[in-house]
Amino acid sequence: MDALRRLDPDIYELIRAEERYELDSIRLIPSENYVSQAVLEASGSILTNKYSEGYPGRRYYEGQRYIDSIETLAIERACALFGAQHANVQPYSGSPANLAVYFALLKPGDALMGLALPHGGHLTHGWSASVTGALWRPVQYTVERETHRIDYDAVRELARKERPKIIVTGATAYPRQFDFKVFAEIAREVGAYLLADISHIAGLIVAGVHPDPIPYADVVVTTTHKTLRGPRGAMILCRRELADRIDRAVFPGLQGGPHNHTTAAIAVTLKEAATPEFKRYGEQIVKNARTLADELLAHGFNLVSGGTDNHLILIDLTTKGITGKQAAQALDRAGIVCNYNTVPYDPRKPFNPSGIRIGTPAVTSRGMGEAEMRQVARWIDRVIAHPDDNENSGRIAGEVRELCARFPAPGIPLR
């Protein structure tokens, strides 16, 4: 980055500092990852120079000979990897992807049913603070109070009563698997489309360690930068009959020109995800999460739903006498990065809730395994036991740096 260093040393230094931070810390935010050097190169390429509104072979700009080939490759690889009939790889990220699906399939005021945000759903699944809760009539299901799991009978009952036009399955903070077959049966019974938002679990589905929604859902949305380990972007996969409506909703309905550098990086990501190494990566994410959860339970932590089936763990810290925000800040001082999060039926507000959310996609990308997860759990326990003891946090941060030095991060050169 010599040119950047000379032209804009401020930004250069900040990027270098973030690089060091990502290298020296245990990154447990379950929606984050480390992309490969190949993905970084495609993402930072001259493709950012291009405008190409439209789709391959149907553009509003001339000069698309290479861009068309790149987008076609991305589409073909997405369809092959997920077994989908159609893929749109242009959404800028997950929120616009979900909006495009609603714009394609709903009329203003139609009912949109999704998991409530405080129960693990996403803002764009119809939460009141989101435009999706304003343009459409939100119907929100919750997890069960005792088990913290989706109660499919309650979902069916609510769907029968409210007659949504789309039912969304998917979450940002749900540590268990989704039963897409049951969701599809409910959607069919009430005449709704089923949208599976697999943003968090796409890499696990590809690796075969989470059930696959493609046989059941009308539309599947995923971001490309979480467990799939690609650039920040999104894709919409759907049945052939819905392809035109989805494509028109993305462009010209919601977006202008696609971000071609991102499209190329998505194509590279999909090539990487089709390898046996990626399957092993997905399997290890889940093994690591289970080990981390078991070790936390052994240290007396209270986990939402009692554990995990996927890549993430939600810890309710109420019994430890500390809030999620205090815990996340103390952990950050010790070199362990996570986000604070509401837990189901949380009496506290989202900006200082009762829980933290942790996950294993990024640490698994560095090659860490079960032994390291047990160590991470011990560090979390030591920090949470003395959150205001900066000497303790500093000592742990040193130990964290030593461990991290043994596990190179993809895409970040060792200097």
The residues annotated with a catalytic role in the active site are 51, 53, 197, 223, 226, 232
Among 54, 94, 213, 335, the residue binding ligand DSN under the rule CB under 6 A is 94
Q: For residues 163-182, which are near ligand DSN according to CB under 6 A?
A: 172
Q: For residues 111-150, which are near ligand DSN according to CB under 6 A?
A: 122
How far is 21 from 404, CA to CA, in rounded Å?
A: 11
Determine the distance from the C-alpha atom of residue 331 to the mean position of all C-alpha atoms in its chain, rounded to a whole number: 22
SS3 content of the chain, % helix, strand, coil (to 5): 50, 15, 35
Residue 29 CB, nearest approach to ligand DSN (Å): 6
- Contact in structure between 340 and 355 (CB atoms under 8 Å): yes
Please name which of 285, 273, 338 lies closest in space to residue 309, comparing C-alpha atoms: 285
**Window 44-83: contact mask with ligand DSN (x via CB under 6 A):** ----------------------------------------
Burial of 200 (0-12, 13-18, 19+ CB in 10 A): buried
Structural element, H or E, at residue 26: strand 26-27
How far is 341 from 359, CA to CA, in rounded Å?
A: 13
- Contact in structure between 244 and 220 (CB atoms under 8 Å): no
Residue 172 CB, nearest approach to ligand DSN (Å): 4
In terms of CB distance, is 31 or 308 closer to ligand DSN? 31
Residue 227 CB, nearest approach to ligand DSN (Å): 11
Tell me the residue number closest to ligand DSN, measured at CB. Answer: 31
247: amino acid identity, one letter:
D
Residue 298 CB, nearest approach to ligand DSN (Å): 27
- Polymer length in residues for the chain: 415
In terms of CB distance, is 140 or 172 closer to ligand DSN? 172
In terms of CB distance, is 31 or 260 closer to ligand DSN? 31
In terms of CB distance, is 67 or 315 closer to ligand DSN? 315
Residue 136 CB, nearest approach to ligand DSN (Å): 19
Number of residues that bind ligand DSN (CB under 6 A): 4
Q: Which residue has the tokens 């804009």?
A: 8
Crossing angle of helices 65-82 and 260-273, in 10° steps, is 40
Q: For residues 212-251, which are near ligand DSN according to CB under 6 A?
A: none
Radius of gyration in angstroms for the set of CA atoms belonging to the chain, rounded to a whole number: 21
In terms of CB distance, is 64 or 224 closer to ligand DSN? 224
Q: Which residue has the tokens 């009959």?
A: 241
In terms of CB distance, is 31 or 132 closer to ligand DSN? 31
Three-state DSSP at 128 gives coil
Given CA atoms 291, 296, 300, 301 in this order, what sign does their dihedral have? negative
Please name which of 240, 188, 193, 201 lies closest in space to residue 218, comparing C-alpha atoms: 193
For position 324 contacting ligand DSN by CB under 6 A, the verdict is no
Please name which of 237, 246, 287 lies closest in space to residue 266, comparing C-alpha atoms: 237
Buried b (16+ CB within 10 A) or exposed e, 259-296: bbbbbbbbbbbbbbbeeeebbebbebbbbbbbbbbbbb
Residue 6 CB, nearest approach to ligand DSN (Å): 35
In terms of CB distance, is 120 or 138 closer to ligand DSN? 120
For position 260 contacting ligand DSN by CB under 6 A, the verdict is no
For position 31 contacting ligand DSN by CB under 6 A, the verdict is yes
Residue 76 CB, nearest approach to ligand DSN (Å): 27
Please name which of 207, 272, 193, 196 lies closest in space to residue 235, comparing C-alpha atoms: 196
| Chain contacts with ligand DSN (rule: CB under 6 A) | 31, 94, 122, 172
